[in-house]
Amino acid sequence: MKNKVVSKYLFQKHIKLLAVAYLYALIILVVMPIFFAIISGTFGTFSISNTIENSNVGFITTLILGGMALLSYEDYKFLIQNGISRNTYFKNQISSYGAIILIGGCD
């Protein structure tokens, strides 16, 4: 029972973090180049489809997951204080990251 609850908690938290990180990546990789093209006066030759096509989603997901893995101490501390074992936390964190990799790493 604990595995199901911890897995659901970690997966939901990781998905929320991933959504926010993808929003930032979208702003940096698509919106900012459009903005700079408008400012520089080259918007007529700018291609939004090429900009989106050239963004590597798998690489972005890898960077985001690496950052999320480095920020996992708060979850660890919270779950350990609430009676979840280290082994349960580790297994569920790995399964959550694995599911996210399968979902977001497809290019």
Does residue 24 lie in a domain region?
yes
Cα 16 from Cα 11, distance rounded (Å): 9
| 3 is a domain residue | no
Q: Please, which pLDDT band fits residue 106 given cuts at 50, 70 and 90? A: low
Give long-range contacts, CB 8 A cutoff, 24+ apart: 102-107: 104/18, 104/57, 104/58, 104/61, 105/57, 105/58, 105/61, 105/62, 106/57, 106/58, 107/56, 107/57, 107/58
Range of the domain at 37: 10-104
pLDDT at 107 over 60: no
pLDDT above 70: percentage of residues in the chain: 95
pLDDT tens digits for range 43-57: 888 888 887 788 777
Model confidence at 76: pLDDT above 80:
yes
The domain total for the chain is: 1
Return d(Cα 9, Cα 94) in angstroms, integer.
13
